[in-house]
Chains A and B, each alone.
Chain A
Amino acid sequence: MKSFDLVEPATLDEAIALLDSQDRSVRAIAGGTALMLMMKTRLFQPTRLVSLRQLDGDLRGIRVNEGGGLRIGAMTSLAELEYSPLLAGTYPVMSQALRTLSNIRIRNVATLGGHLAHGDPHMDLPPILLTLGGRISAVSRRGRRWIPISDFFVGYYQTSLAKDELITAVDVPGQSPGVYCWYEKFTARSADDWPTVGVAVWYSVDSNVITEARIAVSAATERPMRIAVAEALLINAPATRQVFSKAADAAADEVQPIADLHGSASYKREMVRVHVRRALEHALNSRSNGAG
């Protein structure tokens, strides 16, 4: 490993000033869990790491926002989220997913900001956030902008964040009471592995007819993404096994799976089919909904 500078600015302004829009070898470091893996394999060789550890204020903690949803600071650790009663009450689907998101050693240091900024498609929370909706606060020398979560993941390890931008917080809207939510994680190896396929679903039902629906898939695909064709099949249809199966088939046809150590493309396509259907069924059966 080449030597590099590790700086620990005390304020957000200082941190932003230390980033560089041109130089790829200058980066922020939060928990370091993703970055260190890349450094070990020499995929990334920094000249400067800007540690966000000393930053607080907006970057830390979980608060109720105007819309009855939550604003989560980027430096909030995944373990804090896991144990937060506020999160459990507002988005139980997230609390549940956190339990098998890696292991407790990783969750203790990994942060929500790093989890999103990394852009790895094999992540558990992005598909859930894609279904819950929300926006990401990105701050740079140019000021703050809000990026809708739906515009955030643009490609394989690619986000719409500029190199000199920092995530400070994530705003997730409050969910209406009748909404059904579920996250289905499938691992091919250990239980706390990265998912082979992750599927998040969100839908509302009125007199047994689905009125609104969101389905997001991750890990099988190059980025976490909504599957519009499958969603369309649900709307105005009854919440039945046949309908769920049809939507699942459509999702399986639609995705372009990427083969990796977790499975071949054809296996992953099959797993998308199985887990989209299961997620839709489990959401209905568990009555666990996004609004708690």
Chain B
Amino acid sequence: MAAHYTESAAKVVEPPSKIKRKAPGSGQVKRSVRRLESKAKVDGSAEYIYNLSLPGMLYGKIARSSIPHGKILSIDATAALAIEGVHAVITGEDIRRLIPDPYYGPAFHDQPILALDKVRYAGEPVAVVLAADPHVAEEAADLIAVEYDPLEPVFDEVAASKAGAPIIHDRLRPAATFPDLKYLQGRSGTNVALSGRVRRGDLEKGFRESDHIFEHTFRNGKVIHAPLEPFVTLAEMNGPDGLTIHTASQSPSFVRSEVSRLLGWPENRVRVRTAFLGGGFGGKLYIKLEALVAACALLVRKPVRIALTMEEQFYTITKHGATVRLKTGAKKDGRIVAREVETWWNGGAYADIGPRVAQKSGLTSAGPYDIENIAIDSHAIYTNEPPAGALRGFGVSQVVWAYESQADIIARALKIDPLEFRRRNILREGRPHATGMLMTDVDIDAILDRLAERMEWDRPLDHGSGTIRRGRGIAIGIKACVAPTTSVAMVNIYGDGSCGICCSTVDMGQGSDTAMAQIAGELLGVSAEAIRVIHPDTDVTPYDMATLGSRSTYHMGNAVRHAAEDARAQLLRIAATALQTDIDELECRDGAVLTRSGARMSRQITPFWMLGGAGAEIEVDTETGRIRVTKLVNVGDAGSAINPDIVERQLIGAGTMQFGFTIFEEMIINEGQVVNASFADYKIPGMLDLPDDLTGELVEVPHRHGPFGAKGIGETGMFCVSPAIGNALYDAIEVRVMEMPLTPERVLRALRQAQDRPLTSD
């Protein structure tokens, strides 16, 4: 088959920017194709790992730490083992016998598969009970007695970064996979996992030249991903020396390499497969349960399944809480000339991808503004709370909350219309970003225009009277997509001419199967609906970095495009040859035509800029503080949309998610204990809560390297919702709330404070 891999396969594919690629134009892209999997999802036949059971498998139930920080003195499993039906109890020490250095993680190798020596957050996995009956496992897990010697904990991210704070990890252990983190190796006596820095111009000079200086601190609470399908992993032996892992993961390729590394096996002995995901939002990235379940299966030599409950999600991964200090110098005319940003990210007990979140979102934390003098510091901090990782937007919404709230403060202080204020400051095509990278294929003016139009910005707003006051606000935001990363795809044309795409992009509800089918269909002249997308299986589908950061449409979309172009070229060649009856070629035609292609990036911080804007109209009840969002417009730059309907729904979906984070979602953590760790007490918005007028709006600025001009948009709708609502709140009642979420009580307290009749505290 190798003969059929074409030359272009291994090469960098950097398409010429000027020449318009001529597509066959079969009408598959820019068409709102219905999701390929819609029917299967409705009739229940769609495959989810959560529904999988394997013959002879054991169920694992995790016993978790009850304290936020402490040394483990002993683990007594006697009572658990005495329960009839318990097959085994596994502790960190058992894992250590199988895996001498059982610490994992994408950025730092700091997380033990099961707690070793000490625990670092309440809810940390300490032991696993295995039994053929899940209820038996659960009952026994409650009986595992752990004795601790409590250590002083630290929860606040700013406090944890200070000298003298209790130290959570003895020394830093950056993963070798990220060469740029190597310098941190062995650092000790700190909870700062990493500090990202950006410097541009001369900050002090900028402040000296400013007419006004604004300094504020903004806070974001912790929230969670809340996918409908909780974390689930199954592992089984595959022959005498192989392992198959079935897992609801956004990054099967990473799982394979990380599990292989831990076991000291070559990657080809580990097979990782996924199915549809019932939501991911960044929570199911990298490695979560996989190493634990794999280790259990190898220790007992039986298939093992661990499926978390909805409640256990709260102890697995969260979005980062963050404190953002922002100091901005502006001229009288509103031009921003200097900005200093310092962010502390509450990463919880284990780094997960937190240091990358800090670094990446730090890069754009001065906003989509053209500022000469910038200093950015972004600190990833360990605390004794559940670990934080990626959540749809990778830290961007936390910093946008800060800089767009402050943009509103500055505009109002200088008596400039908030929209006009932004126009005076935005980054335009060809201008350098804080990092020095030039802005390309962006049009923030178009986003502002669309916002102005959809919000009817020129029309005066009736601010209401009595106890219901109205206000409106806008915000814009920017994100750099992930750094240069790899996606590989294969397009198979089967003997009968039907077509299959093998790629490791995980369809977790975002509609990637459909988009990939449209791209291949466009080039092969086949309707998207007739194409089959084969789900990730590391034995079958080629490598992909992961399904994250709105990267798949661009990266995998390009890989699929190249593969399909290749297949098409081969088909044409074969057909031509066939006419001359070349015997060798005819032999080969009985098999599938395989082609492989890779997409690689240049050395830029981002292959494309993600830009969005949001506008909100709200009503505030001045007696209760309750906010009702009456209108929410989310504008996103999708490049040229492959499937306009899916893109619009992505914006609406993300907007809804961030809307919940803005108005009431919050993990309440008291002394390290999550006190609302269930969906009875952690509420997400329902239909009745949604804004009456909720829209996603596409701005299409074709991207020169995107597949058919497309960019990713999965996260864009998250960026700007919070400050748009916060700014509308100010417009309505002239009260600024600096901390998210904007709960009724928080709003009422701020209002009553401003009215000089504060509500007493309890």
Contacts and interface: CB of A to CB of B under 8 A. Distances in A.
Interface of A: 1-3, 37, 40-42, 100, 103, 186, 188-193, 196, 259, 261, 263-267, 270-271, 274
Given A188-B744, A190-B685, A196-B744, 10 more contacts: A1-B135, A1-B138, A1-B139, A2-B139, A189-B683, A189-B743, A264-B762, A266-B762, A270-B759, A274-B623
B138 A264 contact: no
B44 interface: no
Contacts of B685: 190
Interface stretch (B453-461, B672-680, B708-716): B672-680
Contacts of B761: 264, 266
A3 B139 contact: yes
Contact of B683 (A37, A193, A263, A264): A193
Interface of B: 135, 138-139, 142, 309, 311, 623-624, 626, 664, 668, 675-676, 678, 680-681, 683-686, 688-689, 743-745, 748-749, 759-762
Nearest to A42: B142
A190 B683 contact: yes
A47 to B, nearest CB: 13
21 contacts: A1-B138, A103-B686, A188-B626, A188-B664, A188-B745, A189-B683, A190-B683, A190-B688, A191-B686, A191-B688, A192-B686, A192-B688, A193-B683, A196-B744, A261-B676, A263-B745, A264-B762, A266-B759, A266-B762, A267-B748, A270-B759
A192 B684 CA distance: 10
A253 to B, nearest CB: 13
A258 B743 CA distance: 18
Contacts of B760: 266
Nearest to B138: A1
Main secondary structure of the interface of B (DSSP, over half): loop
Contacts of A264: 745, 761-762
B350 to A, nearest CB: 25
A218 B743 CA distance: 21
8 A-B pairs with least C-beta separation: A191-B688, A189-B683, A190-B683, A189-B664, A267-B745, A274-B623, A264-B762, A266-B760
Contacts of B139: 1-3
A40 B311 contact: yes
Contacts, number: 63
Contacts of B749: 267
Contacts of B311: 40
B759 A190 contact: no
Most buried by B among A190, A259, A274: A190
Contact of B624 (A41, A193, A259, A271): A271
Nearest to B310: A40
B689 A267 contact: no
Contact of B675 (A3, A261, A266, A271): A261
Given A100-B688, A267-B759, A41 B678 contact: yes
B80 to A, nearest CB: 13
B132 to A, nearest CB: 14
A2 B136 CA distance: 7
A266 B759 CA distance: 7
A3 to B, nearest CB: 6
Most buried by B among A40, A188, A264, A266: A188
A40 B688 CA distance: 27
Most buried by A among B309, B684, B748: B748
A122 to B, nearest CB: 11
A189 B664 CA distance: 5
Contacts of A188: 626, 664, 743-745
A6 to B, nearest CB: 13
A266 B752 CA distance: 13
B624 A274 contact: yes
Contacts of A190: 664, 683-686, 688-689
Most buried by B among A40, A263, A267: A267
Contacts of B759: 266-267, 270
B759 to A, nearest CB: 5
B410 to A, nearest CB: 31
